Structure 1
Amino acid sequence: MKLALAQIAIEGGDVAENVRRATEAIESAAERGADLVALPEIFNVGYFAFETYQRNAEPLHGPTLTRISDLADEHDIGVLAGSIVEDLSETTDETPAEEGLANTSVFFDRDGNRAAVYRKHHLFGYESAEAEMLVPGESLGIAEFEDVTVGMTTCYDLRFPELYRSIAEAGATLVLVPSAWPYPRVEHWRILTQARAIENQCFVAAINGSGSYEDATLLGRSSVYDPWGTLLAGTGDEPEIVIRDIDPERVTRVREEFPAWHDRRR
């Protein structure tokens, strides 16, 4: 499976422009033969544009996710729309949640169908208004795509390894991590992503944004780690699309060769 990480430039509060850039990234990934493309955290609004969250919040059937669904269907490609500010008060489907706003990622299959919804579990409070403005999710995000079981987490979740163990125990062999990770915590970004791959012996792909808003600058560096924790692909801090082959059988081979996964005690 060819996985594309779309590290797009994000303009805080400019939903129309950000969705246009996401559209171009999806179309470019499809042209380059990708099977699945993943977008960054709050790609349409911009993570740090907190003052615009309320007016730019959308339900799952809102214009941003409808556009992404249409693109997945049109280009025959899976898409992780990761994430938007969801207005939970307007969500009336099979994924009930509290009222308020949530940081919500949606996985679309090749036909544009909604295959999984994940609401960020761990809300960031350090120099961030996220924990004050949003409500956390409660359920795991797991999607079946092609021959890969995909797990979904978001940014700050990287600091909580128990979530990743739960996802791996649910069968995930690839975990996608849409993010809005800023400078200066470059080493945290690199080490935590690599550690989640090593300890769960699975692929972990973290998709960051690019650009600045007020005094926050996203560090980019979207990356894919294999089940050994080896860096397979990575970027700098400028906009870029990275495409990498993901072999789900490699997870099985690594776990058989070095059986730490089987030796764990609960």
Structure 2
Amino acid sequence: MKLALAQIEVRTADRDGNLDRALSAVADAAERDADLIALPELWNVGYFAFEAYERGAEPLGGPTLTRLADAAREHDIAVLAGTIVEDLAESAAAAADVPDDEGLANTAVLFDSDGTRRAVYRKHHLFGYQSAETRLLTPGESLPVVDLLGFRVAVTTCYDLRFPEQFRALADEGADLVVVPSAWPYPRVEHWRTLPRARAIENLAYVATVNGSGSFEDADLLGRSTVYDPWGTTLASTGDEPALVTAEVEPERVGRVREEFPALRDRRDY
């Protein structure tokens, strides 16, 4: 399976431009014969543009996700639509599967290549360090894992990387590919390199981190979208400029590695 990570430029107050860049990345990935493309965290409004969250919020059936579902269908490619600010009340009014009926959430949606919504993940761990996320957003509760392209695919979001228990829970559900939409800024480059590699090694699974590119008033995104294999080896990566990162990933490799090095079987309960 060919995986593509769309490290697009994210600009504040440019939702139309951000969407155009996202749609262009989907088309580009399809031309490169990718099977799945992933977008960054809150790419449409910009993670650090906290004042734009409420006015930029949409339900699951809103225009941004609808356009990306259409693009998945048009280009015959599965799309992880990064994350958007979801209006939970509007989603509930449309009879969507939501855990609460009010507030906002940082929500990732995975579409199959026919535009079918396969998974909805709402960020569990809200970032409290120099961020308004804990004040503005409602944390998610569910941890969906879905069969897609031969993998058991799961999604986490950015700050979730710091919480290994979440990744172990996903491994217990059979996840062998975890995709992580993010908006990770400078100066925490070493954290960005170390944490996903550790999550891959610990769980003997592929971990793919897709970050944005761009500058905000108080932060610069560091890019470096990367695919790690089940040994923690880097398969593909990039710098901090806009890029489309691609890598071949194989579900059979996860099984071989877990059989060769059965650390998950050797666990003890405490």
The two structures have a TM-score, normalised by structure 1, of 0.99
Amino acid at match of 1:51: E
Give 2:40's aligned residue: 40
Give 2:114's aligned residue: 111
Instruction: Measure the CA separation in 2 of the matches of 1:181 and 1:167.
Output: 22
- Where structure 1 has 5 or more consecutive residues not aligned to the other structure, the ranges are none
Give 1:97's aligned residue: 99
Give 1:177's aligned residue: 180
Displacement of 1:94 after TM fit?
4.2
Instruction: Measure the CA separation in 2 of the matches of 1:223 and 1:212.
Output: 20
Instruction: Measure the CA separation in 1 of the matches of 2:119 and 2:55.
Output: 25
Amino acid at match of 1:182: P
Instruction: Measure the CA separation in 2 of the matches of 1:102 and 1:177.
Output: 16
Amino acid at match of 2:233: T
Give 1:230's aligned residue: 233
Number of corresponding residues: 266
* Pairs within 5 Å for 1:22-33: 22-33=22-33
2:193 is equivalent to residue 190 of structure 1? yes
2:59 is equivalent to residue 59 of structure 1? yes
Where do 4+ consecutive residues of structure 1 move more than 6 Å? Answer: none
Give 1:69's aligned residue: 69
Q: Deviations over 1:96-129 (max 9, x none)?
A: 2221000000000011010000000000010000
2:196 is equivalent to residue 218 of structure 1? no
**Secondary structure at 1:91 match in 2:** helix
Displacement of 1:226 after TM fit?
0.4
Instruction: Measure the CA separation in 1 of the matches of 2:173 and 2:90.
Output: 29
Displacement of 1:185 after TM fit?
0.2
**Secondary structure at 1:197 match in 2:** helix
Asked if the contact 2:60/2:96 (under 8 Å) is kept, the reply is: no
Instruction: Measure the CA separation in 2 of the matches of 1:109 and 1:239.
Output: 25
Give 1:157's aligned residue: 160
Displacement of 1:248 after TM fit?
0.5
**Secondary structure at 2:166 match in 1:** helix
Displacement of 1:265 after TM fit?
1.2
**Secondary structure at 1:263 match in 2:** coil
Instruction: Measure the CA separation in 1 of the matches of 2:13 and 2:195.
Output: 29
Displacement of 1:13 after TM fit?
3.0
2:258 is equivalent to residue 255 of structure 1? yes
Displacement of 1:216 after TM fit?
0.4
Instruction: Measure the CA separation in 2 of the matches of 1:126 and 1:82.
Output: 22
The two structures have a TM-score, normalised by structure 2, of 0.97
Asked if the contact 2:119/2:144 (under 8 Å) is kept, the reply is: yes
What CA RMSD, in Å, does the superposition of the two structures yield over aligned residues? Answer: 0.7
Amino acid at match of 2:9: A
Give 2:14's aligned residue: 14
Amino acid at match of 1:80: L
Asked if the contact 2:85/2:107 (under 8 Å) is kept, the reply is: yes
2:144 is equivalent to residue 146 of structure 1? no
**Secondary structure at 2:264 match in 1:** helix
- Where structure 2 has 5 or more consecutive residues not aligned to the other structure, the ranges are none
Instruction: Measure the CA separation in 2 of the matches of 1:168 and 1:78.
Output: 22
Instruction: Measure the CA separation in 2 of the matches of 1:232 and 1:151.
Output: 19
Instruction: Measure the CA separation in 2 of the matches of 1:141 and 1:186.
Output: 28
